[in-house]
Each structure stands twice: as C-alpha cells, then as structure tokens.
C-alpha cells in the first residue's frame, strides 16, 4: 500500500492498455446479440460473462466495473486514496440519479442495477436502494451507511418533488462539497475538472428547462463555481435562447456552441469531458491518469450496454451510431 500515485499510475497504465479499442465498437455495431456476446467472451469481459441473456450481460458489466474500477482506492492510502474516492463518487452521484429515475419510471430492482456504474457505495447497498419503495427510503439506507453523499441526497429529496429540481439540488450539494475537498487536498487538476463538469451540468440543465417551457427565475436551478457558464447565460438558455451558446465560442466549451437541442448538446459535452480528462494522462504524480481511466472505462461500459440493447431489440446500426462515437 502506498500513499502516493506512482504505484497506482503504473497499474493504471496496464489497465488502460486493456480498454476496448475503437475498432471493436465499429465491428460490434453490426453484430447480432449472440454475435456480440461471443465477441465479448473473447476479450476482457469474458471472465465475468456467465449467461446468454441481456440481464447476464448487464451483470457482467457491473461485476467487471467493480473489479477494474471500484478497487482503485484500495491500491493507495492517505490523501491519494481520498482523491481517487472523490473521482468514484461521481459514479455514485450518477447511480443515485438512476435509482431515483428508475423508481419514478417503475423499473424493477434488476433493471435499475443493470444501469449502475462502479462507485464507492457497496454493491449490496445499491441492491437495497434499488429495491426501496421511495426516495425517502433510499435516503435512509444511504444515511445509515455514513456515506458522504447522504446529506446532499437528503437535502435534494426534502425539496420540491419535481425530478429535474431534485437532481439539480443533488448535483449542487455534491459539487459544492467535493470541490471544496479537492481544494483542501491541493489537487488543482481535480478541482479544475470538477469546475468543467459543473459548466457541463449547467448547460444540460438549462436546455432541459427550455424544453419544459420554463419561465420562472433560473437561479434556483444554477450550480455555482463553474468557470465558463455564468448565471446570465444560464438564464438565457433556460428561456430557450439556444443561440446564446455562441458566447462560448472562445472558451473550452466552443465545440458545443452550435448545439440547438439537448441530445446534440449532451453528446458534445460527453466528448468534451472525455477529451478534457485525457489531458490528465501526463499527471504522473496526481489523479489525472485515474480520472481519465475511470471516465474512459465508464464510457466503455455504457457503449457496450448500448450495443447490447441495439442488437437485442433488432434496431438498425444507425439508430445508435451518433451516441456510440465521438467525432
């Protein structure tokens, strides 16, 4: 066990070499579901794939992520472990949103679990939360575990019951606490990336509000501490002024400045975040390499799930191609 990043980054360089190449996704785009399973069994997902049904593949992805991403904090100690745990808590945030959305949509616990990534919350606890009857029960289960996100979730759930506002309140509590801790750990690269994520979250939220015909004050939906998206721009976008994105033309968010609908914006933001994380590959004495690996592995898992559902449902390759690749 070590309290610095040298050992962890050496391990990560090996794991990065085992990421599925782009050629895999190009080839798999046209495969049948049995063909996709055969292809996956020949690679890194093979040891975790024990059945031939869609739930078996979802379970294999979940187990694989736990084994290749969820174990990272255990490879280091001290502040290095805490920094890596902060990175994984972003998956916890996404997972909690998935659980809340799944409850609202009437998903089964198995369907919810099939969409979760690898965070810091134990898989058994995720199982209990996925089967919980309502958001208040999810809060209670997380609070009993002492997880750092319990307070943010409690405050989000105790507010207005609208799903979007609940998720934004959860984001706000999460990023406020984690950005502060990243600064306390003297991890400027990590703090900078979180600010970029805040900007991305604000842009997506503004487009969602516009799609709902929002007309009220925008401030309660805005997450502060981003770098490129001020409240003024957020309010314009929330009112449906998508052309206001042109203000981002001279910033790191310029590639999404021409987006005019939510799907195009979210695709662009996802690719921007991946590219931004890739800049941390040279951070040999910090968490940059871990950040890049975690995001790329989560993106890989999401793409495999997308391929599986396309082939299982018999959809044409063109139905998911835009979602599968970054230009």
Residues 151-186: pLDDT tens digits? 889 988 887 678 888 888 899 888 988 888 888 888
Q: Is residue 254 part of a domain?
A: yes
Spell out the residues 6+ positions from residue 212 whose beta carbon is closer than 8 angstroms to its own: 164
Q: Model confidence over 99-135: pLDDT tens digits?
A: 999 998 999 998 898 888 888 998 899 999 999 999 9
CATH number of the domain residue 202 falls in: 1.20.1690.10
pLDDT reported for residue 237? 96
Kindly indicate the confidence band of residue 3, based on its pLDDT and cuts at 50, 70 and 90.
low
pLDDT reported for residue 117? 86
Number of compact structural domains in the chain: 1
Q: Is residue 201 part of a domain?
A: yes
Domain carrying residue 212: 188-280
pLDDT reported for residue 1? 45
Q: Model confidence over 45-74: pLDDT tens digits?
A: 999 999 999 999 999 999 999 999 999 999
Q: Is residue 299 part of a domain?
A: no
Element (H, E) at 9: helix 6-16
Spell out the residues 6+ positions from residue 317 whose beta carbon is closer than 8 angstroms to its own: 29, 30, 310
CB 191 within 8 A of CB 182: yes
Q: Is residue 59 part of a domain?
A: no
Q: Is residue 24 part of a domain?
A: no
Q: Is residue 246 part of a domain?
A: yes
Q: Distance (Å, rounded) from C-alpha 234 to C-alpha 221? A: 9
Owner of token pair 């289960």: 141
Q: Is residue 195 part of a domain?
A: yes
Global pTM value: 0.91
Q: Which two tokens stand for residue 163?
A: 């799903």
CB 256 within 8 A of CB 269: yes
Q: Model confidence over 192-239: pLDDT tens digits?
A: 999 999 999 999 999 999 999 988 888 889 999 999 999 999 999 999
Smallest CA-to-CA distance from 321 within 22, 111, 54 is with 22
Longest C-alpha distance within the chain, in Å?
54
Q: Model confidence over 242-280: pLDDT tens digits?
A: 999 999 999 999 999 999 999 999 999 999 999 999 998
Q: Is residue 7 part of a domain?
A: no
């Amino acid at each position: 066990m070590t309290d610095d990043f040298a050992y962890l980054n050496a391990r990560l360089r090996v794991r990065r070499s085992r990421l599925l190449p782009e050629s895999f996704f190009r080839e798999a785009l046209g495969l049948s579901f049995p063909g996709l399973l055969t292809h996956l069994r020949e690679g890194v997902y093979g040891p975790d794939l024990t059945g031939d049904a869609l739930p078996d593949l979802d379970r294999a992805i979940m187990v694989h992520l736990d084994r290749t991403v969820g174990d990272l904090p255990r490879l280091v100690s001290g502040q290095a472990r805490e920094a890596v745990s902060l990175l994984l808590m972003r998956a916890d945030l996404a997972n909690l949103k998935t659980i809340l959305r799944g409850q609202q949509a009437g998903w089964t616990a198995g369907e919810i679990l099939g969409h979760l990534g690898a965070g810091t919350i134990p898989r058994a606890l995720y199982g209990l939360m996925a089967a919980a009857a309502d958001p208040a029960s999810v809060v209670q289960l997380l609070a009993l575990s002492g997880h750092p996100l319990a307070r943010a979730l409690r405050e989000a759930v105790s507010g207005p019951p609208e799903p979007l506002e609940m998720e934004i309140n959860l984001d706000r509590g999460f990023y406020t606490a984690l950005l502060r801790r990243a600064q306390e750990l003297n991890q400027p690269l990590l703090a900078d990336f979180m600010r970029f994520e805040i900007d991305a979250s604000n842009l997506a939220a503004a487009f969602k509000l516009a799609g709902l015909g929002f007309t009220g004050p925008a401030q309660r939906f805005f997450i502060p501490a981003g770098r490129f998206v001020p409240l003024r721009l957020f309010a314009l976008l929330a009112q449906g002024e998508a052309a206001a994105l042109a203000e981002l033309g001279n910033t790191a968010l310029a590639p999404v400045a021409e987006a005019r609908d939510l799907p195009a914006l979210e695709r662009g933001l996802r690719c921007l975040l991946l590219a931004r994380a890739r800049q941390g590959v040279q951070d040999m004495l910090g968490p940059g390499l871990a950040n890049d690996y975690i995001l790329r592995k989560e993106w890989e898992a999401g793409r495999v799930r997308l391929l599986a559902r396309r082939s299982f449902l018999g959809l044409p390759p063109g139905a998911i191609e835009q979602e599968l690749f970054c230009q």
